[in-house]
Amino acid sequence: MREFIQFFLWCVECFFVLYMIGYASFLFLSVTVGSSELYAGKRRSRLHSELAGDHYVPVSLIVPAYNEGVTIASTIRSLLALDYSLYEIIVVDDGSSDDTAQTVIDTFDLHAVERPVQRRIGCQPALALYENGSGGVPITLVKKQNGGKADALNMGINVSHYPYFLCIDADSVLQHDSLEKIVRPVLEDDTVVAVGGAVRPANGAELRDGRLMRYRLPQRLLAAMQVLEYDRSFLASRILFDKFNGNIIISGAFGLFKKSVVIACGGYDHTTMGEDMELCVKLHVFCRENARPYRIRYAADAICWSQAPETLRELRGQRRRWHRGLWECMSKHWRIFANPRYGLVSFASYSYFLIYELLSPFIELFGLVTVFIAFAFNFINVPFMIMFFMIYAVFGAVMSLTAFFSRVQTRDLKLSFKDVVKAILLSLFEITVMRFILAVTRMMALIGHRRKERHWEHVTRQKIDYTHTGAQ
């Protein structure tokens, strides 16, 4: 028995050595490439002339909303202040039980209109349409039966007039040049079918007229740790995947799409909780199976500020939803895995999300269990394990800080000495304690999961004054 346990632990040890080498290599590569690209982008921006007035594509901005009466007016005001030539704003009220629709109607002086909606993509029917008067940026409000975020987005696509649409959450604020920058890859390459923007936690940011006036780490420690996590896990990795057209997720909070291709794909899937990732993967599949040249890009300089959860309960709810959506998407498109037809999307992107995102909570918690077993049978070198854990924590913290300070430096953000010290200390806590908590949360997300459960994500909103934006 003892020999069997010893052999089992040796096999587990070999597996985890390979697992950790793979993750550390990816993390180092993504942070290195991501940081290099941020600095290169800063140099290019100094030489890049602004888009001329006749160089643009018309864009429909779709804002799905459910009980967003607290923030919806400020979000629309930020969209009205964008530096762009031609766009429309479409707000889809998905059966809200609060005053979301009435707030939009009263604030922006909308009136009811009779206009048929051609449902090229399936969605719940429209109950009423409202529009503003002539002049200025067109604003359309659609009231519909509740059907979930994906259903609301499909309605927005059906109502839209322009060849490209951009999705933005109702609690988010765009910088004044974000639309211009997320559209730029489309102008540079006509094969681009989708572009993802950089979503940043708005907690701690202050904006006036779409311009960042002050930046600091959020006062709430949980929100501050998410800032570090976003830079390491989201920003850096998506820059790396962009190098080989391998991004398989575009955040639902800020993404640009070519409407004709999305309609040809069938639009957003309302049966999955991860509608943003599912659409992105579906675009890869559709274009490759139809031998259509395409690119899915990531614009790191297009910034969207969105409120991050500030309580553990809300964060756990958000990550459960994300992980369930990841499972649904990857199980739906399992044929991509190890399929040469899909190139590096299959062997690099899908494999990474399968091993280091979907299965990682189970793998890491299994590793902890084996450590306790080894300790119980006296098969473990405690000083070595402590040293190994410390090296892992320091390495992860260094990667987080590298990505974080690279973004701060390339965006010319000014941090106080207090925030610098805070970031250094929280980086160790985030890579160890918070990662463990989220690993348990993500693992439990799939236990007792019911595929038919579809709910809007609930995050406590803080009222935003657009001329002075920032959640404390």
- The bridge status of strand 254-258 relative to strand 295-306 is unpaired
Average pLDDT over residues 266-280: 90
Q: How confident is the model at residue 159 (pLDDT cuts 50, 70, 90)?
A: very high
Q: What is the DSSP letter of 415?
A: -
The yes-or-no verdict on residue 254 having pLDDT over 70 is: yes
The yes-or-no verdict on residue 178 having pLDDT over 80 is: yes
Q: Which residue has the higher pLDDT, 268 or 207?
A: 268
Range name among 97-106, 325-334, 370-379, 423-432 with the lowest pLDDT average? 370-379
Amino acid present at 436? F
User: Which pLDDT score is estimated for 413?
Assistant: 84
pLDDT by residue (tens digit) across 93-148?
Answer: 999 999 999 999 999 999 999 888 888 998 989 999 999 977 789 999 999 999 89
User: Which pLDDT score is estimated for 443?
Assistant: 86
User: Which pLDDT score is estimated for 139?
Assistant: 95
User: Which pLDDT score is estimated for 455?
Assistant: 57
pLDDT by residue (tens digit) across 32-71?
Answer: 998 888 888 777 765 554 444 456 799 999 999 999 888 8
Directed axis angle between helix 360-376 and helix 435-445, to 10°? Answer: 110
Q: How confident is the model at residue 306 (pLDDT cuts 50, 70, 90)?
A: confident
The yes-or-no verdict on residue 448 having pLDDT over 70 is: no
User: Which pLDDT score is estimated for 51?
Assistant: 46
User: Which pLDDT score is estimated for 468?
Assistant: 43
Q: Which residue has the higher pLDDT, 359 or 454?
A: 359
State the SS3 of 235-262.
Answer: HHHHHHHHCCCCCCCCCCCEEEEEHHHH
Q: Which residue has the higher pLDDT, 337 or 51?
A: 337
User: Which pLDDT score is estimated for 296?
Assistant: 97
User: Which pLDDT score is estimated for 462?
Assistant: 56
- How big is the chain, counted in residues? 472
**Residue 204 three-state SS:** coil
Please provide the average confidence, as pLDDT, over all residues in the chain.
Answer: 87
Give the CATH number of domain 23-49+171-355; options: 1.10.3470, 3.30.67, 3.40.720, 3.90.550.
Answer: 3.90.550
Give the number of C-alpha atoms closer than 13 A to the C-alpha of residue 173, restricted to the C-beta side.
32
Separation between Cα atoms, residue 182 and residue 195, nearest integer Å: 7
pLDDT by residue (tens digit) across 356-399?
Answer: 999 999 998 888 888 888 888 887 778 888 888 888 889 999 99
Of 213-227, 283-297, 316-330, give the range with the top mean pLDDT.
283-297
User: Which pLDDT score is estimated for 50?
Assistant: 47
Separation between Cα atoms, residue 148 and residue 455, nearest integer Å: 6
User: Which pLDDT score is estimated for 186?
Assistant: 94
Range name among 144-158, 344-358, 403-417 with the lowest pLDDT average? 403-417
Range name among 14-18, 195-199, 283-287, 451-455 with the lowest pLDDT average? 451-455
Directed axis angle between helix 72-80 and helix 100-107, to 10°? Answer: 40
Domain boundaries, the chain: 23-49+171-355
Q: Is the pTM of this model over 0.85?
A: yes
User: Which pLDDT score is estimated for 87?
Assistant: 95
Range name among 70-79, 170-179, 260-269, 461-470 with the lowest pLDDT average? 461-470
Average pLDDT over residues 408-426: 90
Separation between Cα atoms, residue 157 and residue 163, nearest integer Å: 10
Separation between Cα atoms, residue 167 and residue 160, nearest integer Å: 12
Long-range contacts of 144-147 (CB under 8 A, 24+ apart): 144/92, 144/93, 144/94, 144/95, 145/94, 145/95, 146/66, 146/94, 146/95, 147/94, 147/95, 147/123, 147/270
